[in-house]
């Protein structure tokens, strides 16, 4: 068995046997990794509470044939302000769940790892919780996946004025003539353009209102549409 070091963010865990747990992590070097933490459910476990979402840990692992085993785990950041605040914890769990769905085992994805740790740091450090932190993360995630939403003009005809709706499946805005999908007002469109146009930090300062709520619900439905489409593609390519 060979040993390796990596760092990662805990995405999810599940029980294994009497005292162990499988820990699913997004790692810096190896993409998504599923690894066993032996004895982690014992009260005197040497891992303490470090291997719980969204803990950020530096690890020493044994490479196994099917599953790797976590030998040591040291905390890089426990994100205490997140764990102490239910709303922030809910946001953090939405981030790790999205990464869990997008990231693949055996496929390193350093940009996605950096995006996740940066978002958790922002969520942990911000004096006020942003109503669009999760939505901003989803839009950036879609852009990273190569499916950034089309916001400059109608996805059907390219017209750049009178844009009135957004369709999650087509992944973009639509003009009055081609409108379908939920309505999109100009404030919400402007907020989405700021999130995706390099002004995310400023967009995160936006107070809760109709625009933050519209942008959040569109982000969720667009990410869901992307994941469903990808799932179907995998089925077709897998012959099932
Ligand atoms: Zn059009």
Separation of 151 CA from ligand 1 center, angstroms?
12
Furthest CA-CA distance within the chain: 65
* Averaged pLDDT, 93-118: 96
Between 112 and 18, residue with greater pLDDT: 112
Between 5 and 233, residue with greater pLDDT: 5
Q: How does pLDDT run across 14-55, given as a tens digit for each residue? A: 999 999 999 999 999 999 999 999 998 888 888 888 999 999
Separation of 170 CA from ligand 1 center, angstroms?
12
pTM equals: 0.93
Separation of 16 CA from ligand 1 center, angstroms?
53
CATH fold of 3-80, please? OB fold (Dihydrolipoamide Acetyltransferase, E2P) (2.40.50)
* Averaged pLDDT, 108-124: 97
Cβ-based burial of 205 (10 A; exposed 0-12, middle 13-18, buried ≥19): exposed
Residue 66's pLDDT band, with cuts at 50, 70 and 90, is confident
d(CA 51, CA 228) in angstroms, rounded, equals: 29
d(CA 110, CA 214) in angstroms, rounded, equals: 30
Residue 239 has pLDDT above 70, yes or no: no
* Averaged pLDDT, 159-171: 95
Q: Where are the domains of the chain?
A: 3-80, 130-238
pLDDT at position 240 is: 42
What are phi and psi for residue 193, nearest 5 degrees?
-65, -35
* Averaged pLDDT, 139-167: 96
Separation of 183 CA from ligand 1 center, angstroms?
14
Separation of 227 CA from ligand 1 center, angstroms?
26
> Alpha-carbon torsion 40, 42, 45, 50, what sign?
positive
pLDDT at position 46 is: 84
Beta carbons within 8 Å of 193's beta carbon, 6+ residues apart: 151
* Averaged pLDDT, 70-78: 94
Q: How does pLDDT run across 185-228, given as a tens digit for each residue? A: 999 999 999 999 999 999 999 999 999 999 999 999 999 999 99
Instruction: Work out the percent of the chain whose per-residue pLDDT is above 90.
Output: 88
pLDDT at position 153 is: 97
What number of residues does the chain have?
240
Separation of 203 CA from ligand 1 center, angstroms?
27
Separation of 213 CA from ligand 1 center, angstroms?
25
pLDDT at position 238 is: 61
* Averaged pLDDT, 166-185: 95
């Amino acid at each position: 068995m060979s040993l390796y070091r990596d760092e990662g963010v805990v995405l999810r865990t599940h029980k294994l046997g009497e005292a162990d747990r499988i820990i699913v992590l997004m790692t810096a070097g190896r993409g998504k990794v599923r690894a066993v933490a032996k004895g982690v459910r014992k009260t005197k476990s040497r891992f303490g509470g470090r291997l719980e979402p969204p803990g950020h840990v530096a690890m020493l692992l044994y490479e196994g044939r099917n599953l790797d085993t976590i030998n040591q785990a040291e905390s890089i950041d426990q994100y205490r302000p997140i764990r102490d605040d239910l709303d922030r914890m809910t946001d953090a769990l939405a981030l790790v769940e999205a990464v869990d769905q997008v990231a693949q085992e055996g496929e390193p994805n350093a940009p996605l790892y950096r995006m996740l740790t940066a978002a958790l740091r922002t969520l942990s450090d911000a004096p006020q919780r942003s109503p669009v932190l999760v939505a901003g993360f989803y839009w950036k995630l879609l852009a990273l996946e190569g499916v950034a939403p089309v916001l400059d003009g109608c996805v059907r005809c390219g017209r750049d004025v009178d844009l009135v709706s957004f369709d999650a499946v087509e992944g973009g805005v639509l003009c009055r003539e081609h409108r379908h999908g939920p309505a999109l007002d100009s404030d919400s469109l402007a907020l989405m353009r700021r999130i995706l146009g390099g002004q995310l930090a400023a967009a995160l300062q936006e107070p809760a209102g109709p625009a933050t709520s519209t942008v959040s619900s569109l982000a969720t439905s667009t990410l869901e549409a992307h994941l469903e489409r990808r799932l179907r593609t995998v089925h077709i390519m897998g012959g099932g």
